[in-house]
Structure 1
Amino acid sequence: MKPVRRVAMWSGPRNISTAMMRAWENRGDCAVSDEPLYAAYLAATGLDHPGRDEIIAAGDTDAERVATALSSGPAPGGQPVWYQKHMTHHLLPGMSTAWVHGLSNVFLIRDPAQVVESYLKSRATVAPPDIGLLQQAALFDEVAERLGKAPPVIDADDFLRSPHAYLQALCERLGIAFTERMLAWPPGRRGSDGIWAPYWYEAVWRSTGFEPWRPRSPRLEGADLAVAEACRPAYERLRACRLVLG
């Protein structure tokens, strides 16, 4: 079996994670997996997410079996690069993370106030564990300790100001050749999209590239603001380690 470069992008919801998946899939030498632990997460937690029953029926609910395939199995289609789009909160308490260290791990972060505001457009309520930042910080610490240095961290706000430069820098950091094919892709659905895509991916289906950067000023109050602020220390700690260009 040929060596496979396994890139795991650890994000929370309502980030640019699906657009990032499009960029990698458009390379031509890269297989992608869309939230491969989602079915196991829903089955274990009992949470009522949109399309829950379909997701569980279509996916593998054995998290350990999924993890083994992701870390040591062949890449889909025999591709030399395998991009795995992960939601960090899908790593449930008690689940071994030893397999993660066989991947090239990258952390994709976004200001928690922006995440909470976007999340509440599709869900009635939100709690700190729902947006993944606390779990990102814990996994980041584990990966950094094993590596002896900080793994790459990409802040979505920085990235959207200069996708070309950040993708080029990230590929260089990962030892993977950059191609400008990562900057644009045809619109529409993909066979690689998770079965939950109709509930979340409408904007990505219309897209042909990363959205232009624009300033955002979320307006949160009460419990929603408290959720964002509970996650802010984790965000700021990760942001201090983010990839900064020139």
Structure 2
Amino acid sequence: MYGFAQRKDTVVEDEPLYAHYLKLSPSKPYHPGANEILARMENDGKKVVEHMLGEFDRPIVFFKNMTHHLIGLDWSFMKNGINIILTRDPKEMLLSFSKIIEKPVMEDIGYAMQWDLLQYLKGNKYPCLVMDAKKFLMDTEGQITKLCEACEIPYDQQMLKWKAGPIPEDGVWARYWYQNVHNSTGFQPYQEKREPLPGHLLPLLATCEPLYRRLLDYSI
């Protein structure tokens, strides 16, 4: 999202379906800032989708969405854009995620839904591609070049760097989740996380790993 926000030809929106998801998931009050998200954002997912498919003042529009935020929606709207599924090694993802939400469940992290979504997109021949976070960080410029080619947009080197601190496009939850990116000035080289995963997350990891490996088979 921060990379696309550097492009002068692009509008960026951060998780516009978050409030829709929280409204349909009343068991999720443990999400930081949930009440503020519900109060400040559109709760009706259908209205959000109409907005996403509307007119914008720049030729490219980038929506950062979480797969699990798509609950309760007709996914056919995704035929109107290019759908990029960004996945990540579940051990590394769970280590990061559990710093904010200590006891996540599959619904929170979305691996099962990522796989279902990929099958849906491919089955309907909707434009889609898969990117892996590790591969991306090991060859950021090459991966962004491939991404731009797949999206049929010009490569822009400005996507590689940004100023430290928040950006106007940040969601209202940024203060809970975005500390690392606010301290950054670009994509950091990949570094393996060696911290042990808490024991209570091991069953969830075991469920996620085969789904992740399937997704990797499709990654660019």
Give TM-score scaled by structure 2 length: 0.95
Q: Give the match for residue 18 of structure 2.
A: 38
Equivalent residue runs for 1:137-216 within 5 Å: 137-147=115-125, 151-216=128-193
State the distance in 1 between where 2:187 and 2:173 align: 21
Per-residue displacement from partner, 1:70-129 (whole Å, max 9, x unpaired)? 1x2012xx011000101001111x421111121110110001111111111111211112
Shift of 1:28: 1.1
Out of 116, 131, 151, the position equivalent to 2:109 is 131
TM-score normalized with structure 1 length: 0.85
CA distance in 1, matches of 2:47, 2:164: 33
- Contact kept, 8 Å, 1:114 with 1:218, in 2: the verdict is no
Alpha-carbon deviation of 1:219?
Answer: 2.1
Q: Which moved more, 1:78-87 or 1:200-209?
A: 200-209
CA-to-aligned-CA distance 1:127-185 (integer Å, 9 cap, x gap): 1121111111111111111227x831110001101111100111011100001001101
Report the RMSD for the aligned CA atoms in angstroms: 1.4
| Candidates 54, 65, 68, aligned match of 1:86 | 65
What letter corresponds to residue 175 of structure 1 in structure 2? E
Q: Which runs of 4+ in 1 moved over 6 A?
A: none
Shift of the 221–56 alpha-carbon distance from structure 1 to 2, 3 Å rule, reads closer
Q: Unmatched 5+ residue regions in structure 1?
A: 1-20
- The yes-or-no answer on 1:238 pairing with 2:218 is no
| Structure 2: distance between partners of 1:85 and 1:154 | 14
